[in-house]
Amino acid sequence: MSTEPETEIEEESSAENLPQTSSHQQRRIEEKATRKSEREAAEKAQAESLEDEETYELKVFRYDPEIEGKEEPRFDTFVVPYHKGMTVLDALIYARDHYDSSLTFRHSCQQAICGSDALFVNGRQRLGCKTQLADLDDPVRIEPLPHQEVVKDLVVDMEHFYDQMEAVEPFFDPDETPDDELEEQRQSRENREKVKMSTRCIWCGACMSSCNIAAGDNQYLGPAAINKAYRFAMDEREGEDRKEERMRIVEQEHGVWRCQTQFSCTEVCPKDIPLTEHIQELKREAVKSNLKFW
């Protein structure tokens, strides 16, 4: 029996498949070209729209040790449209959402309460959500907090800062408590006013980053931790024994006596806490507690 007809059928079948495969590839190429054209048209339209708007140029620090080609620190430029009331954090969110989704920074409440978005903006420690773009010179240079290890882009490792805060035992521990669990531990109005400003600390780390002493002495408690110690040591409800223990913590070699009264921490504090004054007052308390008359 001859097999020629079957060969012809196979050849015809192969011939029928070739145009289909070619057609499918051509369609994919055309779809890809269409998407590219649409993307370029959208980018062009966005660029043209920005030309008609007031814009700010952001120069943002970039660093990613886990991605090949991004291990070396650099600055990327983003042009963002400006609207009244726009903050540095708003601009960063726009840049991330419209230009580069890999842009990394911390933020949470956006109300200057959580302290997570402390940044180094135009050469000064600031909260991104509190800093108005209109108050800054253009271009706006945004960097991670100095004197801290950078994890990625604008995110720094805060572990050491938190360790220093915990070192002063930042919790209330009175010698005595009322017998009735519903009875309040009363505080005078005058004493409340004395410690009020110190309670505003949001643990943002801006003061620690600005402190030249902390930059050179890794064991220095730092202004934020000392301020936290002040908050409890100066509270009249704190027991005398507990206050003595807390004072011993801040009197150590790397405590209040390392402060050189440069006021840099006070200048950058986003909550306007008089940090340097609090440190000086603890110095005076330390001297008084060590004075002996006999």
CATH number for the domain spanning 96: value is 3.10.20.30
DSSP 78-132: EEEE--TT-BHHHHHHHHHHHT-TT-----SSSSSSS-TTEEEETTEEEETTT-B
**What pLDDT does residue 1 have?**
46
169 shares its domain with 240? yes
150 shares its domain with 71? yes
Which residue is listed with tokens 């938190």? Answer: 162
pLDDT at 253 over 50: yes
For residue range 208-236, what is the model confidence (pLDDT) as tens digits?
999 999 999 999 999 999 999 999 999 99
**What pLDDT does residue 242 have?**
87
pLDDT, average across residues 105-112 = 93
Calpha distance 221→274 (Å, rounded): 17
225-256 burial, b for 16+ CB within 10 Å, e for fewer?
bbbbbbbbbbbebbeeebbeebbebbbeebbb
Range of the domain at 187: 158-290
143 shares its domain with 170? no
Q: Does residue 268 belong to any structural domain of this protein?
A: yes
pLDDT at 52 over 80: no
Q: For the chain, how many structural domains are there in total?
A: 2
142 shares its domain with 107? yes
174 shares its domain with 248? yes
Calpha distance 90→133 (Å, rounded): 9
Identity at 128, one-letter amino acid code: G
Q: Is the dihedral of CA 155, 157, 159, 161 positive or negative?
A: negative
**What pLDDT does residue 19 have?**
56
pLDDT at 184 over 70: yes
182 shares its domain with 200? yes
71 shares its domain with 130? yes
* The model's pTM: 0.77
Q: Identify any residues that bridge with 76 across adjacent strands, giving them in sequence order.
A: 60
Which residue, 134, 60, 132, is CA-closest to 102?
A: 60
Domain with residue 240: its CATH number is 1.10.1060.10
138 shares its domain with 165? no
**What pLDDT does residue 280 have?**
96
Last residue of a domain, which of 155, 186, 212?
A: 155
Q: Does residue 45 belong to any structural domain of this protein?
A: no
207 shares its domain with 169? yes
**What pLDDT does residue 30 have?**
85
Q: Does residue 23 belong to any structural domain of this protein?
A: no
190 shares its domain with 126? no
Helix (H) or strand (E) holding 11: helix 4-51
Last residue of a domain, which of 105, 133, 155?
A: 155
Last residue of a domain, which of 155, 173, 188?
A: 155
Alpha helices per DSSP H over 119-274: 159-167, 189-196, 206-210, 212-216, 223-233, 240-250, 264-268
Q: Does residue 31 belong to any structural domain of this protein?
A: no
pLDDT at 83 over 80: yes
Is 227 within 8 Å of 280 (Cβ atoms)?
no
